[in-house]
Structure 1
Amino acid sequence: MRPVSAHAQAVSERMTTRNRSRRMRAALILPALWALSADLWAQSDWKKEWENVLRAAKKEGQVSIYIYRYEPVLEAFKKDYPEIKVFAVTGTGAQLGTRIVTERRAEKYIADIFSAGPNSAFNILYKAKALDPLKPAFILPEVLDESKWYGGRHNFVDTEGKHIFGYLANSSSSQLYYNSNLVQAKEFKSHWDLVNPKWRGKIVSLDPRLTGLGQTMQFLYYHPEIGPEFIKKFFGGMDMTFSKEFRQMTDWMSQGKFAICVGCKDTDRAKNQGLPVDSFDTSLWKEGGSFSSGGGSLSLLNRAPHPYAAKVFINWLLSRKGQIALQKLADVDDPPNSRRIDILKDDVPMSNRLVEGRRYLDVGRPEWQDLEPIFQMAREIMKAKG
């Protein structure tokens, strides 16, 4: 065998090194190209799906939305999608939920979307098996991206975690309000101060058997420092007057007929009109405050008559643009706080924001959504009062 010359050996080594270098570059570049290709494919995939949904939604030409409180935001949706006519039904969550169930018993499937408090969505519609899973309707990447939402997650509040989406994170005063001519707010350091005998006969409350007071009742019932004993003393032992009308209670309180109100939801309007009403900041009290979705949860009805238009509205409302519009337009007297964390909060009053360092109980926990144990207690209290 002829010996290999030094020159030939050097050439061979250079070629081997060059080939090895090429293989290493390919090993680095190919995964990046595959990832880029997959990303482009995914972008193309959702865009194609969105275009198909838009086309079908425009063909349907209508979406039926049953909505509580925040209906002004629908005007912004109409401007963005003029080809989709909005049929809106407004009322309280309990009224709207009951109406939908009644319609369906008559084989009338009218509603596409339900937007109201999660208590009504869960205790009326979810229990009636009237809802479809919502997440399959999410198409836009900015809606699907959970990092853009408070807590880094989608806030589904039903026990299955897929039917009722809470899109707000409002700091709550436990729906406790007062006449500023009759009450010194600084006197209150704890929820237990509300059962001071001096306030007996001076409190008006929304009927505690209604879902409109549900999130307050959840807070009082499940809070380890408050609990059922407080509920019995407060609603059963303070000679309260009960009502089913928010505005009536606010009028009574502003006129001085009552010093404290539980459930007066339009006090911001009254305060802006110069009336002597205000809300307690319970986040400063011993037990802290709560935060919840308030009247801001979203559900998709099963057997919806306009499923594609419903998908368009769902994605629009939960997008940055939709949530900005919600904060700005939905309630000029009491702007809500979106759970999206990638939008400015300039339009949201401090009373609705979560203040760092303060204590809050999240009453939107799925395991607390069944109000039946609380309602049973409320029924017993009301029955004992005669």
Structure 2
Amino acid sequence: MEWERALAAAKKEGEISFYGSQGYEKIFEVFQRRYSEIKVTSNTIRQGSEHGQAVMSERRAGKYIVDLFINGVVTPNTVFYKANILEPIRPQLILPEVVDESKWWSGKHHYADPEGKYVFVFQGNVHGGENAYNTKLVNPKEFKSYWDFLDPKWKGKIVTYDVSRVSTVAHALRFLYNHPDLGAEFVRRFFGEMDLVYSRDERQMVDWLGTGKYPLAFFVSDIEDAAKQGLPVKFFEPGHFKEGAFVGPSQGGVNLFKNAPHPNAAKVAINWLLSREGQDTYQKVYAQLHDIRQSMREDIAMDVIPPTYRRQKGVRYIYAGHPEWLDMAPVTKVIKEAQQAAKK
């Protein structure tokens, strides 16, 4: 059987090396316990772009140190894919439970590269506008669509995270800009007409929301903790709006490098990571780190994912991992133009 052959060869290689975001080293502690003959070496301290620079420097020096990259999808597209140093993932998938696409969201595997074969996406977090309201001042039933936020009565009453910090709000901005029913027109009017108040301090935003200084907040995440402390604040659930929400990765993609030093161990690691055990471990480890990461797998428990963040049946979802949507320049341009026009 192919799995047994790959596992035997992996044990002979005796090592797997990966670069990734913080937290994956804890996930692979479970892998290490299961496959004790395969030593795990990782670097999860650097940022994604720094990993990109490191890999390219190593390659230019003729050094092939790392097997896998487990992180977001931007660096793989802008650096590794362009440099043609990735291997297709599909030929690496051998466990039946991984190969079976019916076990994954929308009945298929998802990729985030132009050819749909190099950057495998296993994270399926729900993203919307990441917006919240003061429960004493706002009736959520007034909002059936994102366009309802443009009602003049909310002018000057919305606090939003400073969108000049693009990386922090990128997912929500991609949602608004790329949504077929919202797009540039919504973004232009929201940032140009609504006299938004900007903050770079999320705690301040939640405080303002809780005291009612601003009854609505956009691009905010720390709402649940504030609600538990008794503040009258609540998220609009993504399914609340007719536009629905996006599903996609932030730091949940896996890539295999060409000329990987431990190709069989890499194959075993990919299959384990994408297995039920691997994806269950993935969700639980990040939950312990107070970071919500929902798997694209549909056949594992979702207990550690708060109900607000879970994919729900009957809600309209659009896949957000399209590589052409990664470029933030178009939406940033629309926002800046709208803000400048509003100042005139």
Equivalent residue number for residue 2 of structure 2: 45
Equivalent residue number for residue 176 of structure 1: 131
Letter in 1 for 2:296: R
Q: SS of the residue aligned with 1:287? A: coil
Equivalent residue number for residue 99 of structure 1: 50
Task: Give the one of 4, 7, 31 matched to 1:77.
Answer: 31
Letter in 2 for 1:213: V
Structural RMSD (CA) = 3.5
Structure 1 residues 129 and 207: CA distance shift in structure 2, 3 A: farther
Q: SS of the residue aligned with 1:63? A: strand
Query: Residue 352 in 1 paired to residue 309 in 2?
Result: yes
Distance in 2 of aligned mates of 1:381 and 1:304: 47
| Displacement after TM superposition at 1:369 (Å) | 4.6
Structure 1 residues 291 and 45: CA distance shift in structure 2, 3 A: closer
Question: Does the 8 A contact of 1:50 with 1:139 survive in 2?
Answer: no
Distance in 2 of aligned mates of 1:382 and 1:100: 34
Question: Does the 8 A contact of 1:203 with 1:241 survive in 2?
Answer: yes
Query: Residue 256 in 1 paired to residue 208 in 2?
Result: yes
Distance in 1 of aligned mates of 2:230 and 2:85: 43
Query: Residue 310 in 1 paired to residue 266 in 2?
Result: yes
Letter in 2 for 1:298: V
Q: SS of the residue aligned with 1:252? A: helix
Distance in 2 of aligned mates of 1:289 and 1:49: 39
Q: For each residue in 1:219-275, what CA deviation from the matched residue of structure 2 results, as whole angstroms up to 9, or x when unmatched?
A: 2223232110111122344344556x6xx32x1122217554433344445555665
Question: Does the 8 A contact of 2:238 with 2:245 survive in 1?
Answer: yes
TM (normalized to structure 1)?
A: 0.71
Q: SS of the residue aligned with 2:129? A: coil
| Displacement after TM superposition at 1:349 (Å) | 3.0
Equivalent residue number for residue 31 of structure 1: none
Equivalent residue number for residue 238 of structure 1: 194
Equivalent residue number for residue 27 of structure 1: none
Query: Residue 342 in 1 paired to residue 299 in 2?
Result: yes
Letter in 2 for 1:66: G
Question: Which deviates more, 321-330 or 206-215?
Answer: 206-215
Q: For each residue in 1:276-312, what CA deviation from the matched residue of structure 2 results, as whole angstroms up to 9, or x when unmatched?
A: 5432113122322232234322223445555444333
Structure 1 residues 168 and 105: CA distance shift in structure 2, 3 A: closer
Structure 1 or 2, whichever has the larger Rg, is: 1
Count of aligned positions: 332
Identity of aligned residues (%): 35
Equivalent residue number for residue 191 of structure 1: 146
Structure 1 residues 105 and 165: CA distance shift in structure 2, 3 A: closer
Letter in 2 for 1:99: E
Distance in 2 of aligned mates of 1:140 and 1:241: 51
Letter in 2 for 1:175: E
Q: For each residue in 1:81-134, what CA deviation from the matched residue of structure 2 results, as whole angstroms up to 9, or x when unmatched?
A: 44423424147xxxx221123324544776543333434543454445554322
Query: Residue 118 in 1 paired to residue 73 in 2?
Result: yes
Q: SS of the residue aligned with 1:255? A: helix
Equivalent residue number for residue 87 of structure 2: 132
TM (normalized to structure 2)?
A: 0.79
Structure 1 residues 294 and 77: CA distance shift in structure 2, 3 A: same
Question: Does the 8 A contact of 1:208 with 1:378 survive in 2?
Answer: no
Distance in 1 of aligned mates of 2:97 and 2:275: 6
Distance in 2 of aligned mates of 1:355 and 1:209: 30
Distance in 1 of aligned mates of 2:283 and 2:52: 30
Question: Does the 8 A contact of 2:248 with 2:319 survive in 1?
Answer: yes
Structure 1's consecutive aligned runs of 4 or more residues displaced over 6 angstroms after TM superposition are 382-386
Structure 1 residue runs of 5 or longer lacking an equivalent are 1-43
Structure 2 residue runs of 5 or longer lacking an equivalent are none
